[in-house]
Amino acid sequence: MANISYKDAGVDIDAGNNFVEAIKSDVKSTFDANVIGGIGSFAGAYALPTGYKEPVLLSATDGVGTKLKLAIESNRFDTVGIDLVAMCVNDLICNFGTPMFFLDYYATGQLVIENAKDVVGGIAEGCRRAECALVGGETAEMPGMYSEGDFDLAGFAVGIAEKSELDTLANVKEGQVIIALPSSGVHSNGYSLVRKLFFDTLGMSLDSEFRGKPLIDTLLEPTRIYVKEFKQNKDQIKALAHITGGGIVENLPRVLPEGMRAKIKKESLRILPIFEFMGQYVEESEMFRTFNMGVGMIWVVDAADVETILANTDGYVIGEMVKGERGVELS
């Protein structure tokens, strides 16, 4: 019987090594002064920033979900890495964590270097936007676990905060103002429903026209990263919520104390065209429980700081905090 190799079993060690070489420049472009060492060690090393009295480390992990299916079907891999970073770092800042570094996990049936390089290039771009370092990752080639062409992504972000900043529930008071920061699109939640509606129910294709451009351009628009805006306005923010799966109605209550209710004027929301279109076929309550509806991040701020924040950002007022049962009231 002839000898067989790992490559015969579907895993190409040389391709993996070549991939590491191909991504080195992208990865290094995210490094800051706190990164210790380079690429290729068994673990990434990062020095804790100075200036904190009681530093606390925060961590977040997430994926991109079935938005990856659209990237695979359209053979466009340069933006889902941005989504991956966004889903993690946008969560970190909701606990006042300033992102420090990021790691990724890329699993596929067969490693296609050019495709994987595009994915990691997107991750590096996301890290640059989030001002955090990409200090490591893992690429797993697993034939038999994934169909040809399929892959999955997971991301892991670590941030730092003062211990005294973590209890944001105590900051939320009656009369404070609710500000919405616009989303860039569907972001990275609800894509099972998106795919069901557009492709199964309506019979549309990736190239179908939507508002003057191919539908896939809108659906693959990467998730907006809000780290820079958070850093610039941190001192004025009392609480903030990342609007992901569950929408405004399920995510905003996570940062509210008992006895505090978010009263939001529905007509003030700047709902994106993609959601207006889907809303013709999906119940409104389902839309608001599934999608961000054009609001990617919500800040709770004192009324005295509203003018300054609106001048510094593209945010806009959508409501106020009132006493009542903890939750969100859309009226």
pLDDT for residue 9: 64
pLDDT for residue 20: 78
Domains of the chain: 13-166 (3.30.1330.10), 169-330 (3.90.650.10)
pLDDT tens for the chain, residues 1 to 331:
678 777 756 677 777 777 777 788 888 999 999 999 877 788 989 999 999 999 999 999 999 999 999 999 999 999 999 999 999 999 999 999 999 999 999 999 999 989 999 999 999 999 999 999 999 999 999 998 998 889 999 999 999 999 999 999 999 999 999 999 999 999 999 999 999 999 999 999 999 999 999 999 999 999 999 999 999 999 999 999 999 999 999 999 999 999 999 999 999 999 999 999 999 999 999 999 999 999 999 999 999 999 999 999 999 999 999 999 999 999 9
pLDDT for residue 8: 57
pLDDT for residue 129: 98
Q: How far apart are CA 81 and CA 126, in angstroms?
A: 7
Residue 220 burial by Cβ neighbours in a 10 Å radius (0-12, 13-18, 19+): buried
